[in-house]
C-alpha cells in the first residue's frame, strides 16, 4: 500500500484560488491590513485564519500535516464516533453511533454494541444489528439513568461531576474497538425573553442558562496558544492557561473564530475546571466563497467538529463566525459594490449550510449566526443580516473605543452581553528581553514598531496612559521605556476593571429605553502568541500581566463596586 502527499505553499495556493475566483468577482478582503505585515487571500483556505497575520500576531502560514495520522484496518466495521444526548424529562441517555463498514453496498453487518455508564454500578445494554450501508449508520441505544445523577456546573456554581462512559463494538469475527470518554450531565440554553412583555420595543435578554440556573458569564476570548498549530495543542500550556482562567474566577471562554477547533485536551480540561466554551466556527473578519466545492468542504468540517465536541459539557453555544455579519452590513471591506452577491454568499454559508450541519448533529445547543449579532430571534426576523449588529437591546456586542477615558465607567455602553472588549498593553520587560536587544528598548525603535500590528496602537497606548497618569516619553532612556511598559499595564488593568465592573453592575439595571440586564462580559483577550503589545492578560510565556491579577478581583463571586455616577455622586 502506497500513499503520496504533496505540499504546496499556502501563500501560493491562496493566491491561485483567489485569481480563479476573481475572474467572476473577488472574495473580500483580498489582504489583511498593511499594519499586520501579513499575507493575502487566507479566506480561500481552510487553515488557521490568523496564521496569515492578525492585529495581535505574526504571519506564519504553516505547511504540512500537523496532527497524527493513522491507517485503520478492520474486517467487519469500525466504530468511528459517538454522539451523546441526555433527555432529562425521560431520564434517558442516548447514544447515536457512527459505524464505518468495509463495503460500498448494503450488506449484512453483524456484531454487538455495548454501552456502559459508570454510575454507582456499571450498567450495560447490548444490541445486535445488521443491514447498515456504508459510510454512515450504526445502532442507536438509549439507557435509562434515573433521577439521582449529579449535574455538571460551571466554575463557582457547583461541582464538575464527570461520569465514565464507554461504547464497544465487537464484530462477528471477534474484532473489537472501543471509545471511552467522560461525560457531565448538563443542559445549556440561550435565553432570549422579552425584557418587558408589554413593550416589545425594549428588546430581549441574551445569556446562557445552565441546568436551569441564571448566572453572569465572566471570562475572556481565547486565541490559539501558539502561532504554529502543531504547538497549540501542548497539554501543559493549555492546562496552565485554563487554570489561570479558573483562578481568575472566570466561568466562560470564547474560542474565537480566527483560530482553531482546539485539541481534545483543551475541552477535557475545560470540562474538569468548569469553564464554559462559547465555540465559534472557524470563520473570521472576511467574506468567504460559496461555490459547491467550498460549501461541501466546510459542511464536512463542521459536521465532524460538532460531532467531536458535542459530548463535552463545557461546550455551551455555537457561533457561525466572528464579525462577518457586521463586516458585511457595515461595508468594512467594500462589499457595497456587489452587496447582493456577498449577501447571497453569506446566507449560503452560515444559514443554508452551517446551521443545518450543526443542528443535525447537536440539536441541544443554540447556534447563533455571527458574533456580534442581535441574537437568534431578532436576527431571523431581520433576514439574517442586520443593519445594526451593535444594537444594545439584543444579542451580544463587541465594543472598542480607544478615544475615551477608559477609567470613566460613564463612557461605556450598557448592553445585554459584551463578548469582546479590550485595551492594549506591552508585555513585561522580562518577556521583551527574551527576543530583543538593548537598542530595541524604546517606543520608537524598529522592534517596537514592527511588533505592534494594531494601526496606531503604540500612539493610542501612550495617549490612554496620559489621560490619567502624568508621564512624558523619553525615547533615549531605558528606564523611561520600562516605566512606559509598567504604566501601559496599569492603564489596561484599570480600563478593563472599570468596563467589566460596569457590565456586572448592568445586570441589575433597566433604563426607560430598555438598556441593561447585562449578563455576560468576555474581554479580549486571554493569551498571547508572541512577545508583543496586545490585548492579552497573560503573556506568551505564561506570566500574568497586571490585568489578570485585577481580573481575579473584578470577577470575584462577591464584589463591592464603587463608581461615580453621571451626576457626580459616589454610588
Question: Annotated catalytic sites, by residue?
Answer: 323, 420
**Which ranges in 316-407 belong to alpha helices (H)?**
324-329, 339-346, 355-361, 375-381
- Reading phi first (left if > 0) and then psi (alpha if -120 to 50, else beta), residue 292 is in alpha
Spatial CA neighbour of 83 closest among 304, 311, 305? 311
d(CA 223, CA 257): 9
Name the nearest CA neighbour of 243 among 231, 235, 233, 232: 235
Point out which residues pair with 194 in neighbouring strands: 204
For residue 125, what is the enclosing H or E element?
strand 123-128
Asked if residue 251 lies in contact with residue 228, where contact means CB atoms within 8 angstroms, the answer is: no
For residue 144, how many other CB atoms are within 10 A of its CB?
A: 10
**Can you read off the three cell numbers belonging to residue 524?**
479580549
SS3 373: strand
Contact indicator for 535, 400 with CB cutoff of 8 Å: no
Handedness of CA 431, 433, 435, 438 (dihedral sign): positive
Per DSSP bridges, beta strands 252-255 and 276-280 are: parallel
Q: List the beta bridge partners of residue 367.
A: 318
Comparing C-alpha atoms, which of 311, 323, 314, 450 is closest to residue 385? 323
CA distances 39 to 13, 54, 78, 179, 350, Å, are 12, 10, 41, 41, 25
Cα 410–chain centre separation: 29
Helix (H, G, I), strand (E, B) or coil at 393: coil
Q: Can you say whether the dihedral through the CA atoms of 419, 420, 421, 425 is positive or negative?
A: positive
Q: Are 455 and 35 in contact (CB under 8 A)?
A: yes
Three-class secondary structure assignment of 147-215 = CCCCEECCCCCCCECCEEEEEEEEECCCCEEEEEEEECECCEEEECCECCCCCHHHCECCEEEECCEEC
Residues 6+ away with beta carbon under 8 Å from 278: 252, 253, 254, 255, 316, 317, 319, 371, 419, 522
Instruction: Confirm if 282 and 260 have CB atoms less than 8 A apart.
Output: yes
Amino acid at each position: 500500500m502506497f500513499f503520496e502527499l504533496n505540499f504546496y505553499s499556502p501563500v501560493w495556493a491562496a493566491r491561485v484560488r483567489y485569481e480563479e475566483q476573481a475572474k467572476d468577482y473577488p472574495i473580500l478582503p483580498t489582504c489583511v491590513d498593511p499594519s499586520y505585515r501579513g499575507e493575502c487571500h487566507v479566506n480561500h483556505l481552510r487553515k488557521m485564519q490568523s496564521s496569515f497575520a492578525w492585529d495581535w500576531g505574526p504571519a506564519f502560514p504553516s505547511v504540512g500535516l500537523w496532527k497524527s495520522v493513522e491507517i485503520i484496518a478492520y474486517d467487519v466495521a469500525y466504530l468511528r464516533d459517538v454522539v451523546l444526548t441526555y433527555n432529562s424529562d425521560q431520564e434517558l441517555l442516548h447514544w447515536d453511533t457512527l459505524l464505518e463498514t468495509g463495503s460500498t453496498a448494503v450488506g449484512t453487518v453483524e456484531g454487538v454494541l455495548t454501552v456502559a455508564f459508570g454510575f454507582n454500578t456499571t450498567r450495560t445494554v447490548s444490541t445486535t444489528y445488521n443491514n447498515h450501508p456504508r459510510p454512515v449508520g450504526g445502532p442507536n441505544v438509549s439507557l435509562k439513568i434515573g433521577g439521582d445523577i449529579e449535574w455538571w456546573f460551571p466554575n463557582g456554581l457547583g461541582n464538575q461531576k464527570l461520569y465514565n462512559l464507554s461504547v464497544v463494538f465487537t464484530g462477528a469475527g471477534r474484532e473489537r474497538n472501543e471509545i471511552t470518554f467522560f461525560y457531565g450531565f448538563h443542559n445549556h440554553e440561550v435565553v432570549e425573553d422579552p425584557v418587558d412583555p408589554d413593550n416589545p420595543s425594549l428588546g430581549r435578554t441574551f445569556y446562557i442558562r445552565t441546568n436551569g440556573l441564571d448566572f453572569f458569564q465572566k471570562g475572556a476570548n481565547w486565541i490559539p496558544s501558539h502561532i504554529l498549530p502543531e504547538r497549540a495543542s501542548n497539554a501543559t500550556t493549555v492546562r496552565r492557561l485554563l487554570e489561570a482562567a479558573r483562578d481568575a474566577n472566570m466561568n466562560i471562554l470564547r474560542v474565537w473564530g480566527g483560530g482553531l477547533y482546539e485539541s481534545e485536551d483543551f475541552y477535557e480540561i475545560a470540562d474538569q475546571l468548569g469553564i464554559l466554551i462559547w465555540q465559534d466556527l472557524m470563520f473570521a473578519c472576511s467574506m468567504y466563497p460559496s461555490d459547491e466545492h467550498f460549501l461541501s468542504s466546510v459542511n464536512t468540517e463542521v459536521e465532524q467538529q460538532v460531532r467531536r465536541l458535542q459530548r463535552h459539557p463545557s461546550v455551551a453555544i455555537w457561533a457561525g463566525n466572528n464579525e462577518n455579519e457586521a463586516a458585511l452590513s457595515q461595508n468594512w471591506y467594500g462589499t457595497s459594490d456587489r452587496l447582493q452577491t456577498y449577501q447571497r454568499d453569506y446566507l449560503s454559508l452560515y444559514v443554508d449550510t452551517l446551521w443545518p450541519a450543526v443542528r443535525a448533529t447537536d440539536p441541544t445547543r443554540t447556534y447563533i449566526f455571527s458574533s456580534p449579532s442581535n441574537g437568534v430571534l431578532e436576527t431571523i426576523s431581520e433576514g439574517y443580516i442586520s443593519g445594526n449588529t451593535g444594537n444594545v437591546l439584543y444579542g451580544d456586542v463587541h465594543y472598542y473605543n480607544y478615544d475615551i477615558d477608559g477609567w470613566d465607567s460613564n463612557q461605556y455602553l450598557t448592553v445585554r452581553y459584551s463578548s469582546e472588549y479590550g485595551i492594549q498593553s506591552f508585555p513585561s520587560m522580562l518577556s521583551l528581553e527574551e527576543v530583543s536587544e538593548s537598542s530595541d528598548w524604546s517606543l520608537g525603535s524598529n522592534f517596537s514598531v514592527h511588533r505592534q500590528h494594531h494601526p496606531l496602537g503604540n500612539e493610542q497606548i501612550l495617549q490612554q496612559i496620559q489621560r490619567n497618569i502624568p508621564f512624558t516619553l523619553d525615547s533615549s532612556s531605558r528606564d523611561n521605556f520600562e516605566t512606559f511598559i509598567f504604566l501601559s499595564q496599569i492603564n489596561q488593568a484599570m480600563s478593563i476593571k472599570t468596563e467589566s465592573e460596569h457590565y456586572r453592575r448592568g445586570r441589575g439595571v433597566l433604563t426607560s429605553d430598555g438598556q441593561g440586564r447585562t449578563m455576560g462580559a468576555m474581554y479580549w483577550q486571554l493569551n498571547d502568541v508572541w512577545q508583543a503589545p496586545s490585548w492579552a492578560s497573560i503573556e506568551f510565556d505564561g506570566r500574568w500581566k497586571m490585568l489578570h491579577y485585577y481580573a481575579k478581583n473584578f470577577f470575584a463571586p462577591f464584589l463591592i463596586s464603587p463608581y461615580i455616577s453621571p451626576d457626580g455622586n459616589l454610588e
